[in-house]
Amino acid sequence: MSNFVIEAPAVTAVPVAGGGSFPVRRVFCVGRNYAEHAREMGHDPDREEPFFFTKPADALVINGADMPYPAKTRDLHHEMELVVAIGTGGRDIPEAQALAHVYGYAAGLDMTRRDLQAAAKKAGRPWDMAKGFDLSGPIGEIVPASRAGHPAAGKIELSVNGAVRQSSDLSRQIWNVAETIAYLSGLVALKPGDLIFTGTPEGVGAVNKGDVLEGAIAGVGSVRTRIA
């Protein structure tokens, strides 16, 4: 019998290719992890260490469901990303051991209320409401690393209504997956169920109601959503 004074929140779980589901604990996101995207946002990628922001676990949109156009914005942007699913946790994980902590990988979208983000940056305030709003993280199936390996290179691409918007290669990441895990685990203890969105390449842009977003990462999988 539960001692909770309210109904316990549901566990967010992402489908796994081949069966089963991955329960999500926390969602970390790497900011500006591709040099060309950093430049298109007005930053110098050669002078920064990685930094992170978060989304709530229940911000994820699974099974190709629609994503509603969020309130309080007129500039909703897409950001196509490789997502890392952590299977075993740790603190201060050595880079050489980092990939052993990965359960698998997925394709995901870090949707952003760009106008709110710009206003927050200008005022020196947090990005939370620009990045961590409801249903801001469409994600595809997680493919276990036992099947997909650990992709260090390969095309990452996003199309909107069939037209390519973002196209790059995972090898162009400033911080690769092992480096990102090692660095992040020095800031917080990673645990099973954590996800890491690893940053987006150049070509981010606005989407509107009715647009269909289809992303794919070679050797990993795909993500799809419609802006409702």
pTM of the model: 0.95
Per-residue model confidence (pLDDT) at position 14: 98
Nearest of 71, 90, 105, 116 to residue 209 by alpha carbon: 71
Distance CA 88, CA 99 (A): 10
What string of pLDDT tens digits covers the 228 residues of the chain? 689 999 999 999 999 999 999 999 999 999 889 877 556 556 666 657 889 999 999 999 999 999 999 999 999 999 999 999 999 999 999 999 999 999 999 999 999 999 999 999 999 999 999 999 999 999 999 999 999 899 999 999 999 999 999 999 999 999 999 999 999 999 999 999 999 999 999 999 999 999 999 999 999 999 999 999
The verdict on residue 7 lying in a domain is no
The verdict on residue 190 lying in a domain is yes
Q: What is the length of the chain? A: 228
How many domains, the chain? Answer: 1
Collect contacts of 9-12 with beta carbons under 8 A, ≥24 apart: 9/58, 10/58, 12/57, 12/58, 12/60
Instruction: Give the residue numbers spanning the domain of 79.
Output: 13-226
The verdict on residue 3 lying in a domain is no
Per-residue model confidence (pLDDT) at position 45: 65
**Beta partners for residue 143, in sequence order:** 105
Chain-centre distance of CA 26, in angstroms?
A: 11
Per-residue model confidence (pLDDT) at position 148: 84
The verdict on residue 142 lying in a domain is yes
The residue whose two tokens read 């973002």 is 166
The verdict on residue 2 lying in a domain is no
- For residue 74, the 8-state DSSP code is S
The verdict on residue 213 lying in a domain is yes
Residue 116 to residues 51, 73, 126, 208, Cα–Cα distance (Å) = 19, 7, 10, 16
Q: Are 108 and 197 in contact (CB under 8 A)?
A: yes
Radius of gyration (C-alpha) of the chain in whole angstroms: 17
The verdict on residue 6 lying in a domain is no
Q: Are 105 and 85 in contact (CB under 8 A)?
A: yes
Angle formed at CA 28 by CA 191 and CA 60, multiple of 5 degrees: 100
CATH number at residue 88: 3.90.850.10
186 exposure class (CB count in 10 Å sphere: 0-12, 13-18, 19+): exposed
The verdict on residue 5 lying in a domain is no
